[in-house]
Structure 1
Amino acid sequence: MSNEQTRADVILIGAGIMSATLGSLLKQLAPDWKITVFEKLASAGEESSNEWNNAGTGHSALCELNYTVEKPDGSIDISKAIKINEEYQVSKQFWSYLVDSNLIRNPRDFIRPLPHLSIVQGEKNVAFLKKRFETLSNNPLFHGMEFSDDPETLTEWIPLMMKGRTLNEPIAATRIESGTDVNFGALTRMLFDHLKNNNVDIKFKHNVDDIKRTSDGLWELKVRNVDSGAVERHTAKFVFIGGGGGSLPLLQKSGIPEGKHIGGFPVSGLFMVCNNPEVVAQHHAKVYGKAKVGAPPMSVPHLDTRFIDNKKTLLFGPFAGFSPKFLKNGSMFDLLGSVKPNNVLTMLAAGAKNVPLTKYLIQQVLLSKEQRMEELREFIPNAKSEDWDTVVAGQRVQVIKDTAAGKGTLQFGTEVISAADGSIAALLGASPGASTAVSVMLEVIKKCFPQHIKAWEPQIKEMIPSYGVSLLKNPELIHEIHASTARTLGLSESLPLQMAHQTVS
């Protein structure tokens, strides 16, 4: 065992989009702080942030039907959609700042304009989509959204999906041009290159085995070199656990009270990827459908144009699967090891409550390729099996906790757990995660560094002009941000039409 012990101001665990974002923010706000990053894999962005392990959607609630819920009185609750949209605008502002400041280059390598569509079939679903459209299109955050139930118009929007379709029930879609495709793997690698160039110590192939509080209030990490087996001790005033599915076990090892009574349920994903360039060329959009009755929110089917390594491709999914691993490169004992005396009742309650989810996952795991093709044919009627291959996507760990809704409630979303004194924070959960990374990490900074916020505020506002302001209450600011981020990130063609006209005039 090595006696080496080093001290940092900040330690980031995991080299994914969350650590990359927090590190980049802190480097702008406190450039003299010593930051160290530990990642057990050989490079950055190889787990959930990797481009093949997520859908690459710039989540802004333009097409995701699970962010807009129909209330008992028939009205549509868009509060979650507004929140996610505003948070994505914050991410785009920060990325624009980094590009304008020449801290990262070539935004086209990680973000591209791409229409976002929602599509439904059946009279009841069409009525829901129309109400959703009417509610959202009156909101300045969603200007430019179009609705159509005309098959000819839909054929113009999504020709591949309409070819060979039997129209024996109503069909409708909404479209908005200001959507994006985001390569979070490429963005993560860019951000870590920037951090490395600014004296951040990034240690790949280093696994954090343990974490504990020292008598002087620091956090001590036991870190193992994956290749040599050598163990080092590292201490820091502040630790961020951003290890994707691996965050929960480390949070538990920290022993903070806030980490108790929390469990995790792993869900794996599969996508179908098209290997026929002629088919890929016929589709240019992200098209989200509606989750089937009884299916969890993360199972919403979608057909996505993707740009990976600057090459256009086409993915359909996700198909849920189950593995007890918390990470794609994790252990088969991850789930079992996460069950502790303080969360066993929470976990058991979740199991009892989620029998339909368990049944759904078992059914998904047992699907044959042809059965998956049948689901794909609901989107592309003429899809041929030989044109599609299966890829295994990333592992997600859904948070289980005791809430006002009851014991052992399964949470869908992204959640930050932090110590009362702000000395340690962990990110848990899944989508919309990466898209809202900047907002989530600003929240971490606000919670964990309250003593610095007043001094940092001018710099934060320089990086994110809308910081501290409700975009919803400032339509003019929405227009300015849409125009400026579109210009900097090369998304001009994705501006809503009326905004584009205003900008030109």
Structure 2
Amino acid sequence: MSNKQTKSDVILIGAGVMSATLGSLMKELAPEWEIKVFEKLGNSGAESSNEWNNAGTGHAALCELNYTSEKPDGSMDISKAIKVNEQFQVSRQFWSYLVKSDLIRRPQEFIMPMPHMSYVQGEKNVNFLKKRYEALVNNPLFQEMEFSDEPEKLREWMPLIMDGRSSDEPTAATKIDSGTDVNFGALTRLLFDHLKDNNVDVNYQHSVENLKQASDGSWEVKVRDTANDNIEHHNARFVFIGAGGKSLHLLQKSGIPEGKNIGGFPVSGLFMACSNPEVVEQHQAKVYGKAKVGAPPMSVPHLDTRYIGNKKTLLFGPFAGFSPKFLKAGSMFDLATSVKPDNLTTMIASGAKNIPLTKYLIKQVMQSKEQRMEELREFLPNAKSEDWELVTAGQRVQVIKDTEDSGKGTLQFGTEVVSADDGSIAALLGASPGASTAVQVMLDVLEQCFPQNMKEWEPKIKEMIPSYGVSLTENPELFREIHASTARALHLEEDQEHSLDIEEKVLEKV
């Protein structure tokens, strides 16, 4: 056992895409700060950020129907779609900055162009999709979107999905070619390679066991070196908890008031993966459908072309599962130990509210492969069981909290940052849209925890993210310039000419 004690400016807990993003931002904004990272597993991007543990969609609300909703008066609410899209544009800008600065190389290792489509069946859903399209296409962020309910056009867009389908039932789709497939595991590893090259102390097989705030406001962090079974003590003036499902436990151990009355509910995901190359080659898109009535937002079915390990793959899902673990590499006691006196009534209220969700999860867990194949055949009528195998994806912890709108024990399906009033510690909870919006979420962390530094940092932030502080929806020309610029930098278009440096024009306008 060691009594080793070290001091640093920043401690990042968890080596996923969120810590990688925050660390990369900090290294640009305050290069003199000493940063330490502690990760329980043996590598970065091995849990939620891993390419097999998420959908790999660059979430920009181009195809995800749950980001738009119909209002009581029949009009379409697209506010969430706009917000998610603008956040993804922020990520694209930061990634482009890193590539153009040679801080990470070969963007095609983590991002590929991929058409995004929404696909629905039935007259009611076709009407919904058309109304959604008409609401979005007038916004500059979505103006390239196409709509069709003509079978011939749909066969052209998605031949595998239309093959063997009856022409009697109304069907429709929207398509936008500027979508992306993102390998968040590869991105995370590239970012950590960059951080290690810049003297960030990254410690794998190090599990954080406790946190305690010292009298001077800094944080004392107890860490177990699991490889050598040694205990280490570290001190930092700022701590970020980006440990996936484990974040809730560590937030509770911190004892900050902002972490009280918050619970978590774990949901695991499963995908069907196609093992037949002939089938895989017939599909080149991410196609999202509409969740069934009574199903949670996380259950939206989608058929995705993925690029994993330089290999083209086809995944369908997600199918929900249940495990009391908060991480794939977690403990069967994670759920039980997350229940505390301060969140007990919140958890009980949530249980009573979410009986339908519990029934849904039980039904999903009990499904046979053939039952899952039947769901797949609603997307692919000619799907053959021998071409598909079940893959266990990531473990997500949905936030449970008390809200003014929905009362006690409300289950949240988004990403949430919880930070101390003094800005000395912050934790990321929740999931979707998660990694796609990591840069904006981490900028929010900086704004909440380092308000005294933001004025000094703003010029550098605008150099990295030219649209910082500006609405792209309200500045369509700026959006078009930034979108074209980031597409070139990230190799998302065939024309790789860099003769026009748009960034300078953008910075002048901002």
The TM tier, using the shorter chain, reads over 0.9
Distance 2:470 2:492 in 1: 23
Amino acid at match of 2:345: L
- Separation (CA, whole Å) in 2 of partners of 1:425 and 1:3: 26
Aligned to 2:180: 180
Q: What is residue 445 of structure 1 aligned with on the other side?
A: 446
C-alpha change, 1:11 and 1:494, in structure 2 (3 Å) is farther
Matched with 1:391 is 391
Please state whether the residue corresponding to 1:129 is helix, strand or coil. helix
In structure 2, the residue matched to 1:412 is 413
Residues 434-473 of structure 1: pairs in structure 2 closer than 5 A: 434-473=435-474
1:485 maps to 2:461: no
Residue 338 of structure 2 aligns with which residue? 338
Q: How many Å apart are 1:228 and its aligned residue?
A: 1.6
Whether the 8 Å CA contact 2:276–2:387 is kept in 1: the answer is yes
- Identity among equivalent positions (%) equals 76
Structure 2 counterpart of 1:501: none
Give the TM-score, by structure 2 length: 0.96
Q: Using the TM superposition, give the Cα deviation of residue 168 of structure 1 relative to its aligned residue in structure 2, in angstroms.
A: 2.7
Aligned residue in 2 for 1:157: 157
Q: Aligned AA for 2:25? A: L
Could you give the per-residue CA deviations for residues 22-49 of structure 1, whole angstroms, max 9, x where no partner exists? 0000000000000000000000000000
2:237 & 2:216 partners in 1: Cα distance? Answer: 10
Give the match for residue 250 of structure 2. 250
Are residue 24 (structure 1) and residue 12 (structure 2) matched?
Answer: no
Specify the alignment match of 2:90 in structure 1: 90
Gap runs ≥5 in structure 1: 496-505
Deviation at 1:215, TM superposition (A): 1.8
3-state SS in 2 of match to 1:456: helix
Please tell me whether the aligned partners of residues 211 and 253 of structure 1 are also in contact (alpha carbons under 8 angstroms). Answer: yes
The one-letter code matched in structure 2 to 1:389 is E
Cα distance in 2, alignment partners of residues 227 and 3 from structure 1: 16
Q: Give the whole-Å Cα distance in 2 for the aligned partners of 1:123 and 1:165.
A: 16
Q: C-alpha displacement at 1:260, in angstroms?
A: 0.2
Partner SS, residue 80 of structure 1: helix
Distance 1:491 1:358 in 2: 41
SS in 1 for 2:467: coil
Counterpart secondary structure, 2:8: strand
* Alignment size in residue pairs: 495
Give, in whole Å, the separation in 1 of the partners of 2:389 and 2:325. 23
Q: Is it true that 1:210 corresponds to 2:210 in the alignment?
A: yes
Q: Check 1:27–1:224 CA distance in 2 against 1; reply closer, same or farther (3 A cut).
A: same
1:92-491, aligned counterparts within 5 Å?
A: 92-404=92-404, 405-491=406-492
Once residues 335 and 17 of structure 2 are traced to their aligned partners in structure 1, the CA distance between those partners, rounded to angstroms, is 24
> Are the aligned partners of 1:280 and 1:312 in contact in 2 as well (CA < 8 Å)?
yes
1:493 Cα deviation after fit: 5.0
Counterpart residue identity of residue 163, structure 2: K
Give, as a single letter, the amino acid of the residue that structure 2 aligns with 1:490.
H
Q: Distance in 2 between matches of 1:22 and 1:124?
A: 43
Larger displacement relative to structure 2 (161-170 or 14-23): 161-170
- In 1, Cα distance between equivalents of 2:208 and 2:314: 37
Q: Deviations over 1:173-195 (max 9, x none)?
A: 00000100000000000000000
Distance in 1 (CA, whole Å) between partners of 2:68 and 2:307 is 27
1:78 aligned onto 2:78 = yes
Distance 1:432 1:74 in 2: 26
Where 1:473 maps in the other structure, the secondary structure is coil
Q: Secondary structure in 2 aligned to 1:351? A: helix
Q: Tell me the alpha carbon deviations over residues 174-227 of structure 1, each in whole angstroms, 9 at most, x when there is no partner.
A: 000010000000000000000000000000000000111112221011100112
| CA distance in structure 1 between the partners assigned to 2:288 and 2:494 by the alignment | 21
Does structure 2 conserve the Cα–Cα contact (< 8 Å) formed by 1:145 and 1:174? yes
Residues 96, 256 of structure 1: CA spacing in aligned structure 2 closer, same or farther, 3 A cutoff? same
User: Using the alignment, how far apart are the partners of 2:372 and 2:475 within structure 1?
Assistant: 45
The CA distance in 2 between the partners of 1:333 and 1:167, in whole Å, is: 50
Q: Which amino acid aligns with 1:477?
A: L
Q: CA deviation at 1:494?
A: 11
Secondary structure (helix, strand or coil) at the match of 1:472 reads coil
Tell me the distance in 2 between the aligned counterparts of 1:169 and 1:190.
46
**Could you tell me whether the CA contact under 8 Å between 2:488 and 2:495 is conserved in 1?**
no
Per the TM alignment, residue 167 of structure 1 is displaced from its structure 2 partner at its CA by 2.5
Give the superposition deviation at 1:166: 1.5
Q: C-alpha distance in 2, partners of 1:174/1:371? A: 28
d(CA) in 2 for partners of 1:326, 1:493:
42
Helix, strand or coil: the match of 1:271?
strand
Q: Give the aligned residue type for 1:22.
A: L
Offset at residue 368 of structure 1 (A): 0.2
Secondary structure of the 2:379 match is coil
**Residues 325 and 333 in structure 2, CA contact (< 8 A), matched pair in contact too:** yes
Amino acid in the other structure paired with 1:90: V
Q: Does the C-alpha gap of structure 1 residues 265 and 225 become closer, same or farther in structure 2, counting only changes over 3 Å?
A: same
State TM-score, norm by structure 1.
Answer: 0.97
Provide the rounded CA distance (Å) in 1 between the counterparts of 2:285 and 2:390. 20
Secondary structure class of the residue paired with 1:36? strand
In structure 2, the partner of 1:57 is 57
Runs of 4+ in 1 over 2 A off after TM superposition: none
Q: Which residue in 1 is equivalent to 2:45?
A: 45
Q: Which runs of 5+ in 2 are unaligned?
A: 497-510
Aligned-partner Cα distance in 2 for 1:216–1:140 = 49
Q: For residue 229 of structure 1, report the CA deviation from its aligned partner.
A: 1.1
One-letter identity of the residue aligned with 2:467: S
Deviation per CA, 1:239-274, whole angstroms, max 9, x where unpaired?
000000010000000000000000000000000000
Structure-2 separation of matches of 1:79 and 1:421: 31
Q: Distance in 1 between matches of 2:198 and 2:5?
A: 22
